[in-house]
Structure formats: structure tokens, C-alpha cells
Amino acid sequence: MSAPKKLYIKTYGCQMNVYDSERMAEALGGKGYVETKTPDDADMILLNTCHIREKAAEKVYSELGRFKHLKAEKPDLKIGVAGCVAQAEGEEIIKRQPMVDLVVGPQSYHRLPAMEDAVRSGAKALDTDFPEDDKFDTLKTRAKGKRGPTAFLTVQEGCDKFCAFCVVPYTRGAEVSRPADRVIREAQELVEAGVKEITLLGQNVNAYHGHARGLAGLIWELDKIDGLERIRFTTSHPNDMDDALIEAHGTCDKLMPYLHLPVQSGSDRILKAMNRKHSGESYIRLIERIRAARPDLLLSGDFIVGFPGETEEDFEDTMSLIREVHYGQAYSFKYSTRPGTPAAEKPQLPEDVMNDRLQRLQALLREQQQQTQAAMVGREVKVLFEKAGRETGQMIGKSEYLHAVYAEAPADVLGQVRAVRIVEDSPNSLKGVLL
């Protein structure tokens, strides 16, 4: 029996890419590949790329350059680029880096086995189509075997919002939702493999329409699965937070009290320029409704500073919104151009102005996050323990609010949800005592 081939996947970007990498590994598992944690002994290297961050393509080319010596040492090594940079760059990747053997977009990775056959025969393989065949249907059976207690599950892809700064509609395509019965089947397979918490993923997950009652309907179907203890979802758009989903936050015990709901700016003028189709005021009123349904909700958000045309007054509108809403967690970035998006054609703000605004905004967000962490001290939370800590006898998990919590506990708590009293806070984690 021949030895298995080794596959090394490096994943960039969002949780959806993490999920996609798992499915790529499963697809190639049928071709005799097993995963390895190092590229040095790999027979195939895949870079699963993200196009959201600044200079994403250049970073991929730089990473590919690091593999030149491996390709020289192992001529049979195959190198592939997948994901959103692959979708955006296409043939250009192979032109600039001829050592790349295959390029596959995020909607075509179910075709990897056939592409692997092609590259093993000496051909180059390129597939950046938006195929009519459903990749999830092709990959419908998850690999059997024990899994960790948490898992991502993609239920929706693509986006129809066309925010002026975003490449997602161009790299992931139009909004597509997976049928609810297939999502439920995959969730059941994950639970049978040991998963206790599932995070539903989508570029615009609350626009999910694979169930007659939308994302809320899907959540209530998943709520029926024995052994599934926690449900989360990300990332959402304010305009798609319907009444049923708001109500679910208050009535579904398995739906965790954590919500990532990006606003991007507090300035109505900038929101209009971003093509967000909501106002700062409508966002604030929406948060009030959600918190009325679930008062202990921890809110997370996204912010872009320095969008073309942003004035100091616009920036202060954003700071005012942050002060009013109060975020337990947030992600913030300087605006950076994405070729092909409307905002890329507009005059850019000076770098020093963007740096100054980002520092001030992050200082405020950091203060709010620290206040949220400190307020947890003395409270009892439910922690799903996921792994052992660095110190002997220490276990680490996530609370219902997605805080990292560590506590002294026996190893058999792994995979269990246990009550913990928080006794100490730090910037990035909480210390607790097992009850």
C-alpha cells in the first residue's frame, strides 16, 4: 500500500476560509491526501487566500516566493492558490509565478480532485468560474471522525449589497443560500462527530433564505438537534436583522448572546458614500430593539476610518455612535483601496490623518472592551472548554459571550459546558474558578 500524500493548507482571512479549507482537505482526502502542519514535507501546498486586507495579492506573491526552494528540491511538489485572491487574479497568478500549478476560486474548490489529476499529468489547472453545479451538494458528506467541540458551518455565500469599499460581490458572487435540509444534515454530522457549538457563516448570513422563515427559521431547526448546545452566526448586515431574528435572540436558549453587526461609520454622509443603505440613527434604534430582546447581549462591530471624503466631523460622528452603543468587541481598520470597487477611484486621505483617527478610535474601543471585561468579574458564566492551557491543569474555553476563559480544571471537562465564576480580568482573557 502506497504512503499517503501530504497536503499543507495555509488559510488567510475570515472564518469562511477556515471552513473552506476544511472542505478542500476533505475533497483531496479522496485522492489520498492527509494534512500536514508544515510545508516542508508536503506533496501539495494550497494557499487559501483573502482579498479583504490591504495589498492582499502582493502578500500572496511574497508567500509563494518562500516556496521556491521547496519546488526546486521537490520537482513533484504541487502548489495551488485558492480563495478570493485566486478569483480576483486568475491567470495572472500563474503568469507571475510559473511554479504555481493550480488556481481555484472559492466557488469551484469541489473540483479540486479533477484539478489534481490534471496537474499530476503535467498540466496547469485554472478554475475561477461561478459554476452552476452546487459545490456543497458535490461535497455533501463530511469526513467521519472525532472533532473538536466547535465548528464553522457555511450556510450563505456572496453579497448583493455592493458596498463601495468591498470586493466580496466580485470574488464570492451574488447571494446564495444553502437549502435548510442540507445545512441541518451537515450540522447533525458535526454533532455526531463531537461538536457542541456551531457558528453559522455567511458574507451576509442574516440574508439567508434557504428556509421559509429565513435565518431565524434555520436556527430554530438547529435548536432541535440533540447534543448541539450552542448556536452563533456571523457576519450580518443591519438591513437584514428582521423581527424573527431579533425575537430569536430573546427566546432561543441555544442562540448565544453575542452579535457581530458591522456599522462601518457613524456619519450618514459617509454611510451614503459607502452605499450602506442605513443611517447611524437607524443602526442605533436597531441595537436598542435587539438589546430589549436580549439585555445581556455583547455587541461586536466593524469600523473603517479614513474613507474617501471623511472629514473630522464625520469621524466624530463615528466616535459618538461608539460612545452611545458601547461595544464589547470590535474590529477597526484604515480604509485601503480595492481595485475594481467604486471607492478606489476617489481621492484618498493622507496617511497621517488616517493613522491619527485610527489610534483615537481604537483607544475608545479598547476602553469599552476593557470595561466589558472588568464587568464580568464576579459573574457566573457558562464555558465550553476547548483545549488545555500552557500551565498544568489549566483548561481554556469560550463563555457564551465569546470571551476566552481559563480555569484550573480536570482534563475531562474538554468538550463540556461548565459553570465558571470569573475572578480576574485581563485585556484578552478572563480567569475563572470551576463551580
Annotated binding site: 14, 50, 84, 159, 163, 166
Q: Residue 352 carries which side chain, given as an amino acid letter?
A: D
Distances (CA, A) of 27 to 22, 126, 171: 9, 17, 21
Q: Cβ(22)–Cβ(148) under 8 Å?
A: no
Characterize the bridge pairing of strands 197-201 and 258-260. unpaired
Residue with cell 472592551: 369
Other CB atoms within 10 Å distance of the CB of residue 392: 7
Which residues sit opposite 198 in a β-bridge?
Answer: 151, 231
The answer for residues whose C-beta is within 8 angstroms of residue 360's C-beta and 6 or more apart is: 319
Residues marked as binding for [4Fe-4S] cluster? 14, 50, 84, 159, 163, 166
Q: Could you tell me how far CA 49 lies from the centroid of its own chain?
A: 12
